[in-house]
């Protein structure tokens, strides 16, 4: 049995280093501490959630999980590559990493795979929703509100696609609805002042909004006060410390932090770190 499996066996306890104090790292620290591990969270920033979660959109969109890799998306790719879509900027479209990633993305753009992937992400999202409910037994103040999410749809083709997805989503336990624009206006009267036309809307009352930074900061404070979790901030991890096929520490500027296992949640920097 590998050391990793031994460590995460329900009976064993260990010292786990979590690399990255973003929302994912801090939430994982919570579950590791709850399972009885001592946890050290390491981050190069001087405060938690300095990465993508610092000022994100705060949407908990459990119901909008349609895979980006789908047949309709293929038509848009030339516009992205040529820089004709203002919403997407690809700094260097022909670098080898992007080409490799692009090839695997294209393989997922079939109708069958798009459907399978959307259902997988939906199941993951619904599980996340249930786990957040459970996590709220730890009282955290992060402006979480079940505001619902309303997405307006301009053309009939997109509305038909949304209607097809609607059935699949409901079969998988997601309470989404297709609304006429009149029904949507009852929910959101401000729509009367918005330029249309719109073909309809998709609404999910279950979707929430929350302040990711406040959530992460509050959870980190709670962990320091109630669990064996420490935070080593201002530690720029240069590499992982390996012994045989084990990874049991991180090498920062000037010193090592060692434990029984390391989990890496360094967001967009993860791949670079793991490639060291």
Does position 149 interact with ligand FAD (CB under 6 A)? The reply is no
- Rounded to the nearest angstrom, the gap between the alpha carbon of residue 145 and the centroid of all alpha carbons in its chain is 18
Touching ligand FAD, residues 212-241 (CB under 6 A):
236-237
Structure tokens at 35: 């399972």
Contacts of 141 by beta carbon, 8 Å cutoff, 6+ apart: 214, 218
**Cα angle vertex 142, ends 137, 148, to 5°?**
90
Segment lying near ligand FAD (by CB under 6 A), choices 2-10, 21-29, 33-41, 142-150: 21-29
SS3 148: coil
Applying CB under 6 A, among 59, 110, 123, 158 the residue interacting with ligand FAD is 59
Applying CB under 6 A, among 56, 95, 143, 239 the residue interacting with ligand FAD is 56
Whose Cβ is closer to ligand FAD: residue 14's or residue 22's? 22
Whose Cβ is closer to ligand FAD: residue 59's or residue 129's? 59
Residue 185 contacts residue 112 (beta carbons within 8 Å): no
- Which residue in 11, 222, 242 sits closest to 264, CA to CA? 242
Residue 118 contacts residue 168 (beta carbons within 8 Å): yes
**Window 241-270: contact mask with ligand FAD (x via CB under 6 A):** ------------------------xxxxx-
CB of 27 to ligand FAD, least distance (A): 8
Sites of contact with ligand FAD (CB under 6 A): 20-25, 43-45, 49-53, 56-59, 236-237, 265-269, 273
């Amino acid at each position: 049995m590998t050391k990793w499996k031994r460590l995460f066996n329900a009976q064993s306890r260990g010292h786990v280093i979590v690399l990255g104090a973003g929302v994912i790292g801090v939430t994982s620290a919570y579950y590791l501490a709850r399972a009885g591990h001592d946890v050290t969270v390491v981050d190069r920033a001087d405060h938690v959630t300095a990465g993508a979660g610092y000022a994100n959109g705060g949407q908990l969109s459990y119901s909008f999980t349609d895979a980006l890799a789908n047949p309709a998306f293929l038509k848009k790719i030339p516009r992205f590559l040529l820089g004709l879509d203002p919403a997407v900027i690809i700094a260097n479209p022909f670098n080898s990493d992007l080409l490799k990633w692009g090839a695997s993305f294209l393989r997922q753009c079939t109708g069958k795979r798009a459907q399978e992937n959307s259902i997988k992400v939906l199941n993951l999202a619904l599980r996340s929703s249930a786990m957040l409910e459970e996590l709220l037994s730890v009282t955290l103040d992060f402006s979480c509100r079940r505001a619902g999410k309303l997405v307006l749809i301009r053309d009939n083709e997109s509305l038909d696609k949304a209607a097809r997805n609607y059935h699949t989503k409901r079969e998988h336990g997601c309470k989404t609805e297709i609304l006429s624009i009149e029904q949507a206006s009852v929910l959101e009267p401000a729509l009367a002042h918005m330029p249309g036309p719109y073909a309809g809307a998709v609404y999910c009352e279950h979707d929430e909004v929350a302040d990711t930074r406040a959530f992460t900061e509050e959870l980190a404070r709670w962990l320091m006060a109630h669990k064996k979790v420490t935070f080593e901030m201002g530690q720029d991890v240069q590499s992982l410390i390996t012994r045989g096929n084990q990874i049991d520490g991180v090498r920062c500027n000037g010193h090592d932090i060692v434990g029984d296992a390391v989990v890496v949640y360094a967001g967009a920097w993860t791949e670079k770190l793991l490639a060291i």
